[in-house]
A = this chain, B = another copy of it.
Protein backbone atom coordinates (compact mmCIF):
# COMPACT_ATOMS: atom_id res chain seq x y z
CA UNK A 1 0.00 0.00 0.00
CA UNK A 2 1.04 3.62 -0.48
CA UNK A 3 1.08 6.50 1.97
CA UNK A 4 1.44 10.05 0.73
CA UNK A 5 3.00 12.31 3.35
CA UNK A 6 2.94 16.04 2.66
CA UNK A 7 5.38 18.45 4.34
CA UNK A 8 4.30 21.51 6.35
CA UNK A 9 1.50 23.26 4.44
CA UNK A 10 2.10 27.00 4.69
CA UNK A 11 -0.80 29.42 4.26
CA UNK A 12 -2.82 29.98 1.11
CA UNK A 13 -0.09 29.07 -1.38
CA UNK A 14 0.33 25.78 0.45
CA UNK A 15 -3.38 25.05 0.39
CA UNK A 16 -3.53 25.98 -3.30
CA UNK A 17 -0.69 23.51 -3.91
CA UNK A 18 -2.71 20.79 -2.23
CA UNK A 19 -5.83 21.71 -4.15
CA UNK A 20 -4.13 21.62 -7.53
CA UNK A 21 -1.96 18.56 -6.95
CA UNK A 22 -3.52 16.15 -4.51
CA UNK A 23 -5.96 14.25 -6.68
CA UNK A 24 -3.34 13.91 -9.39
CA UNK A 25 -0.79 12.56 -6.94
CA UNK A 26 -3.28 10.13 -5.43
CA UNK A 27 -4.06 8.78 -8.88
CA UNK A 28 -0.50 8.73 -10.14
CA UNK A 29 0.91 6.94 -7.11
CA UNK A 30 -2.18 4.90 -6.19
CA UNK A 31 -2.19 6.43 -2.75
CA UNK A 32 -4.21 4.68 -0.03
CA UNK A 33 -3.89 7.36 2.61
CA UNK A 34 -2.75 10.98 2.68
CA UNK A 35 -1.15 12.49 5.76
CA UNK A 36 -0.15 16.17 5.80
CA UNK A 37 1.55 18.37 8.33
CA UNK A 38 -0.77 21.31 8.90
CA UNK A 39 0.99 23.29 11.62
CA UNK A 40 1.43 26.31 9.34
CA UNK A 41 -1.72 25.94 7.27
CA UNK A 42 -3.71 28.88 8.65
CA UNK A 43 -2.03 32.18 7.89
CA UNK A 44 1.42 30.69 8.27
CA UNK A 45 1.11 29.36 11.81
CA UNK A 46 -1.35 26.98 13.39
CA UNK A 47 -4.63 25.71 12.04
CA UNK A 48 -8.26 26.78 12.32
CA UNK A 49 -11.47 24.81 12.04
CA UNK A 50 -12.13 26.41 8.68
CA UNK A 51 -8.72 25.57 7.29
CA UNK A 52 -8.88 22.07 8.74
CA UNK A 53 -12.20 21.45 7.00
CA UNK A 54 -10.77 22.80 3.77
CA UNK A 55 -7.82 20.43 3.93
CA UNK A 56 -9.94 17.39 4.76
CA UNK A 57 -12.34 18.33 1.95
CA UNK A 58 -9.41 18.41 -0.44
CA UNK A 59 -8.74 14.76 0.33
CA UNK A 60 -6.25 14.81 3.17
CA UNK A 61 -7.03 11.96 5.55
CA UNK A 62 -4.91 12.88 8.57
CA UNK A 63 -3.31 16.17 9.66
CA UNK A 64 -0.23 16.15 11.87
CA UNK A 65 1.03 19.20 13.74
CA UNK A 66 4.12 20.61 15.43
CA UNK A 67 5.34 23.44 17.65
CA UNK A 68 2.78 25.83 16.13
CA UNK A 69 -0.17 23.59 17.03
CA UNK A 70 -1.63 25.98 19.62
CA UNK A 71 -1.24 29.26 17.72
CA UNK A 72 -4.96 29.79 17.05
CA UNK A 73 -7.15 29.78 20.15
CA UNK A 74 -9.92 27.76 18.55
CA UNK A 75 -7.62 24.77 18.22
CA UNK A 76 -8.35 23.86 21.83
CA UNK A 77 -11.99 23.08 21.03
CA UNK A 78 -11.37 21.94 17.52
CA UNK A 79 -8.73 19.36 18.32
CA UNK A 80 -10.83 17.92 21.12
CA UNK A 81 -13.49 17.02 18.53
CA UNK A 82 -11.51 16.38 15.36
CA UNK A 83 -9.77 13.05 15.81
CA UNK A 84 -8.15 13.25 12.39
CA UNK A 85 -5.72 15.82 13.76
CA UNK A 86 -2.72 14.37 15.58
CA UNK A 87 -0.48 16.69 17.62
CA UNK A 88 2.91 16.08 19.20
CA UNK A 89 2.37 13.27 21.70
CA UNK A 90 5.06 14.48 24.08
CA UNK A 91 3.18 17.45 25.47
CA UNK A 92 2.56 16.97 29.18
CA UNK A 93 -0.42 14.78 30.10
CA UNK A 94 -3.67 16.71 29.92
CA UNK A 95 -2.99 18.54 26.67
CA UNK A 96 -6.04 18.51 24.38
CA UNK A 97 -6.06 16.24 21.35
CA UNK A 98 -4.33 13.02 20.47
CA UNK A 99 -0.68 12.19 19.86
CA UNK A 100 -1.51 9.02 17.99
CA UNK A 101 -4.57 7.66 16.27
CA UNK A 102 -5.47 4.74 14.03
CA UNK A 103 -7.18 5.33 10.71
CA UNK A 104 -8.66 3.15 8.00
CA UNK A 105 -6.93 3.62 4.65
CA UNK A 106 -8.77 3.47 1.30
CA UNK A 107 -7.70 -0.15 0.93
CA UNK A 108 -9.19 -1.09 4.30
CA UNK A 109 -5.86 -1.39 6.11
CA UNK A 110 -5.50 0.24 9.50
CA UNK A 111 -2.70 2.75 9.82
CA UNK A 112 -1.39 4.31 13.03
CA UNK A 113 -0.24 7.91 12.66
CA UNK A 114 1.96 9.32 15.40
CA UNK A 115 3.31 12.84 15.89
CA UNK A 116 6.21 13.64 18.23
CA UNK A 117 8.24 16.82 18.68
CA UNK A 118 12.00 16.98 19.06
CA UNK A 119 13.57 18.73 22.04
CA UNK A 120 16.87 20.02 20.67
CA UNK A 121 16.49 23.76 19.94
CA UNK A 122 12.75 23.24 20.58
CA UNK A 123 10.25 23.64 23.47
CA UNK A 124 10.88 21.56 26.60
CA UNK A 125 8.58 18.61 26.08
CA UNK A 126 8.80 15.02 27.31
CA UNK A 127 11.53 12.71 25.99
CA UNK A 128 10.62 11.92 22.36
CA UNK A 129 12.34 8.54 22.43
CA UNK A 130 10.57 7.25 25.51
CA UNK A 131 7.34 8.71 24.17
CA UNK A 132 7.80 6.74 20.96
CA UNK A 133 8.26 3.55 22.99
CA UNK A 134 5.13 4.36 24.95
CA UNK A 135 3.01 5.01 21.87
CA UNK A 136 4.17 1.78 20.28
CA UNK A 137 3.37 -0.21 23.40
CA UNK A 138 -0.09 1.30 23.37
CA UNK A 139 -0.57 0.06 19.82
CA UNK A 140 0.81 -3.42 20.43
CA UNK A 141 -0.68 -5.95 18.04
CA UNK A 142 -3.37 -3.58 16.95
CA UNK A 143 -1.86 -2.27 13.74
CA UNK A 144 1.00 -3.21 11.47
CA UNK A 145 1.40 -0.03 9.43
CA UNK A 146 2.71 2.79 11.60
CA UNK A 147 3.98 6.19 10.60
CA UNK A 148 5.70 8.82 12.75
CA UNK A 149 5.87 12.50 11.82
CA UNK A 150 8.89 13.54 13.89
CA UNK A 151 8.72 17.30 14.03
CA UNK A 152 12.22 18.39 14.99
CA UNK A 153 15.03 20.82 14.25
CA UNK A 154 18.35 19.05 14.80
CA UNK A 155 19.44 16.49 12.23
CA UNK A 156 21.16 14.46 14.96
CA UNK A 157 17.92 13.99 16.88
CA UNK A 158 15.98 13.11 13.73
CA UNK A 159 18.47 10.63 12.32
CA UNK A 160 18.82 9.05 15.78
CA UNK A 161 15.04 8.60 15.93
CA UNK A 162 15.09 6.87 12.56
CA UNK A 163 17.62 4.33 13.80
CA UNK A 164 15.87 4.04 17.16
CA UNK A 165 12.61 3.00 15.49
CA UNK A 166 14.07 1.02 12.59
CA UNK A 167 12.03 -2.16 12.26
CA UNK A 168 9.41 -0.94 14.75
CA UNK A 169 7.50 1.47 12.52
CA UNK A 170 6.87 1.62 8.80
CA UNK A 171 8.14 5.18 8.41
CA UNK A 172 9.81 8.04 10.25
CA UNK A 173 9.21 11.23 8.29
CA UNK A 174 10.78 14.43 9.59
CA UNK A 175 9.11 17.82 9.39
CA UNK A 176 9.68 21.38 10.75
CA UNK A 177 12.72 22.72 8.88
CA UNK A 178 10.63 23.37 5.72
CA UNK A 179 13.49 22.23 3.52
CA UNK A 180 13.32 18.82 1.91
CA UNK A 181 16.30 16.60 2.51
CA UNK A 182 17.77 14.18 0.00
CA UNK A 183 18.51 11.34 2.41
CA UNK A 184 15.36 9.26 1.95
CA UNK A 185 16.07 5.58 2.30
CA UNK A 186 14.79 2.29 3.66
CA UNK A 187 16.74 1.51 6.82
CA UNK A 188 18.04 -2.07 7.21
CA UNK A 189 15.13 -3.32 9.34
CA UNK A 190 12.47 -1.94 7.03
CA UNK A 191 11.68 1.58 8.18
CA UNK A 192 11.35 4.30 5.54
CA UNK A 193 13.22 7.38 6.65
CA UNK A 194 13.68 11.00 5.59
CA UNK A 195 15.09 13.79 7.76
CA UNK A 196 12.64 16.36 6.41
CA UNK A 197 9.86 16.18 3.87
CA UNK A 198 10.09 19.92 3.30
CA UNK A 199 7.40 22.56 2.88
CA UNK A 200 4.30 22.92 0.80
CA UNK A 201 3.94 26.66 0.36
CA UNK A 202 5.33 29.74 -1.34
CA UNK A 203 8.56 28.90 -3.11
CA UNK A 204 10.38 32.25 -3.35
CA UNK A 205 10.36 32.81 0.38
CA UNK A 206 12.34 32.07 3.50
CA UNK A 207 10.72 28.81 4.60
CA UNK A 208 7.32 30.27 3.72
CA UNK A 209 7.74 33.84 4.92
CA UNK A 210 8.29 36.91 2.73
CA UNK A 211 12.01 36.91 2.23
CA UNK A 212 12.45 40.66 2.67
CA UNK A 213 10.94 40.48 6.18
CA UNK A 214 13.22 37.67 7.30
CA UNK A 215 16.31 39.37 5.91
CA UNK A 216 15.34 42.57 7.70
CA UNK A 217 14.83 40.66 10.91
CA UNK A 218 18.27 39.05 10.69
CA UNK A 219 20.11 42.20 9.69
CA UNK A 220 18.39 44.68 12.04
CA UNK A 221 17.41 42.37 14.93
CA UNK A 222 14.32 44.57 15.19
CA UNK A 223 10.89 42.93 15.38
CA UNK A 224 9.24 42.17 12.06
CA UNK A 225 5.72 40.86 11.64
CA UNK A 226 6.14 37.83 9.42
CA UNK A 227 3.74 37.32 6.52
CA UNK A 228 3.34 34.34 4.26
CA UNK A 229 4.99 35.11 0.93
CA UNK A 230 2.56 35.48 -1.94
CA UNK A 231 4.49 33.66 -4.66
CA UNK A 232 3.97 30.60 -6.79
CA UNK A 233 4.05 27.40 -4.77
CA UNK A 234 6.04 24.26 -4.24
CA UNK A 235 4.62 21.00 -2.95
CA UNK A 236 6.99 18.77 -1.00
CA UNK A 237 5.99 15.25 -0.08
CA UNK A 238 7.05 11.64 0.02
CA UNK A 239 5.30 8.49 -1.11
CA UNK A 240 6.03 5.53 1.16
CA UNK A 241 5.25 2.05 0.01
CA UNK A 242 4.52 -0.39 2.81
CA UNK A 243 3.93 -4.10 2.78
CA UNK A 244 0.73 -4.17 4.83
CA UNK A 245 1.28 -7.80 5.78
CA UNK A 246 4.47 -7.01 7.66
CA UNK A 247 4.39 -3.25 8.15
CA UNK A 248 7.80 -3.01 6.51
CA UNK A 249 8.43 -0.24 4.04
CA UNK A 250 9.62 -1.26 0.62
CA UNK A 251 10.12 2.14 -0.98
CA UNK A 252 10.26 5.85 -0.24
CA UNK A 253 10.19 8.44 -2.98
CA UNK A 254 10.48 12.21 -2.76
CA UNK A 255 7.99 14.45 -4.54
CA UNK A 256 8.55 18.08 -5.53
CA UNK A 257 5.83 19.76 -7.55
CA UNK A 258 6.09 23.38 -8.59
CA UNK A 259 3.54 25.86 -9.84
Contact = CB atoms under 8 A, between A and B. Distances in A.
Interface of A: 70-71, 91-92, 94-95, 119-121, 123-127, 129-130, 153-157, 159-160, 163-164, 177-183, 188, 195-196, 198, 204-207, 209, 211, 214-215, 218-223, 254, 256
B127 A120 contact: no
**Most chain B Cβ neighbours within 10 Å, of A95, A119, A214, A221:** A221
Contacts of A206: 156, 159-160, 163
**Most chain B Cβ neighbours within 10 Å, of A92, A154, A179, A207:** A179
A177 B155 contact: yes
In the complex, the count of this chain's copies comes to 4
A239 to B, nearest CB: 15
A196 B126 CA distance: 26
A134 to B, nearest CB: 12
B121 A124 contact: no
16 contacts: A91-B220, A95-B221, A95-B222, A120-B124, A123-B221, A125-B221, A126-B126, A129-B215, A153-B154, A155-B177, A159-B206, A159-B207, A159-B211, A163-B215, A181-B182, A182-B198
